[in-house]
Amino acid sequence: MRIGVVADATCDLPSEFIKSHDIGILPVTIQLGDEQFDDVRDPRATRRFYARQLAQRDFDADTIAYSVEQTRELLRRRIVPFCDYAFCITVNATRASTFESAAKASFSILADAQSEPTARGPFVLRVLDSRTVLAGIGVLVAEAAKRVRDGITPFELRRHLDALRDHVCTYLVPGDLYYVHHRAQKKGERGVDWLSYAIGTALDLRPVILAYRGETEPVARVRGYERAVAAVFAQVARQIEQGALYVPHVVLSYGGELAELQRLPGYDALRETAARHGVELLESMMSAASAVSIGAGCVSIAYAGERRPFSE
């Protein structure tokens, strides 16, 4: 049985990994004034976006999930002819309408398959709400792709991913607090009020945010961006050291060039710890679609395993 893996464009994984594991990408449309382009995880397009748009703090940028019809047509062209069963893993359903569109598209595709039976049998599409964001989606997608290559059955993979998504811990450290605050105000989110923003910027307190089981919450405030990033790297390194991971890979993404990420304090120690314990570190530029919401310089790191109290 041919099993395919599809991820929406906000999934952070290296382009080489996506290509080598034949992972399909469900685009997210980015609106820039009167212009639109689709984020399809093209590294060159992502790099241009960071250079031209985020450098100007383009607050008018916005993202638009593919419609049900767009999703249906894309899957029919690029996935259905080549797979018997496919898993489409999306960003947290409370963050975007991607999950809803993909789920409705899957029902439409199933209806088409039932009305037009083929010798190989009906195509099946399983849409999974990752209940996380950014690097966290990458953890699930990478695991799905690896297991497919190892020969797992669709039923086994479905059970595995359903269980694993509730153990994905995704840490975020924003790079530009003003950008995050402005975007939150524009979207009407009350989690970033003016007083806490003013105090945070005055003292250079950086929030460490955890996305876990469909919820996001600050777990710490650390003085200084680099110290906050180092604390997050150290937190994940400790989980690796203590054997708390359920899958042997950690996903790391950065809102900018990876060379900048690799110069941040704590990165080398994290990389050495991962290598010593046989844990693969999958690094990529953060998707353009995600950067629209959270800005340049954001660090996202995720693993699947035990959730433990955060400590600096």
Interatomic CA distance for residues 106 and 128, integer angstroms? 11
**pLDDT (0 to 100) of residue 57:** 56
pLDDT tier at 113, thresholds 50, 70, 90: low
For 3-166, CATH gives 3.40.50.10170
Residue 92, classed as helix, strand or coil, is: coil
Q: What are phi and psi of 55, to 5 degrees?
A: -60, -25
Evaluate if residue 80 carries a pLDDT over 80.
yes
Domain ranges in the chain?
A: 3-166, 168-304
143 neighbors 164 (Cβ within 8 angstroms): yes
Q: In 100-124, which positions are buried (b, 16+ CB within 10 angstroms) versus exposed (e)?
A: bbbbbbbebbeeebeeeeeeeeebb
Mean pLDDT of the chain: 89
Question: Any idea which of 104-108, 128-132, 255-259, 292-296 has the lowest mean pLDDT?
Answer: 292-296
**pLDDT (0 to 100) of residue 191:** 47
pLDDT, tens digit, 9 for 90 and up, residues 114-151 = 666 554 567 899 999 999 999 999 999 999 999 999 99
Strands (E), 191-277: 205-212, 215-223, 249-254
* Strands laid side by side in the 24-26 sheet: 24-26, 3-8, 85-90, 124-129
Question: Any idea which of 31-45, 80-94, 252-266 has the lowest mean pLDDT?
Answer: 31-45
Q: Using CA atoms in the order 209, 274, 283, 9, what is the torsion angle rounded to 10 degrees?
A: -60
Shared fold status for 3-166 and 168-304: no
Predicted TM-score (pTM) of the model is: 0.92
Evaluate if residue 58 carries a pLDDT over 70.
no
Q: In 165-190, which positions are buried (b, 16+ CB within 10 angstroms) versus exposed (e)?
A: bebbbbbbbbbbbebbbbbbeeeeee
Closest CA to 229 of 190, 179, 184, 263: 263
- Alpha carbon 76 to its chain's center: 24
The arrangement of secondary structure in 168-304, i.e. its CATH architecture, is 2-Layer Sandwich (3.30)
pLDDT tier at 177, thresholds 50, 70, 90: confident
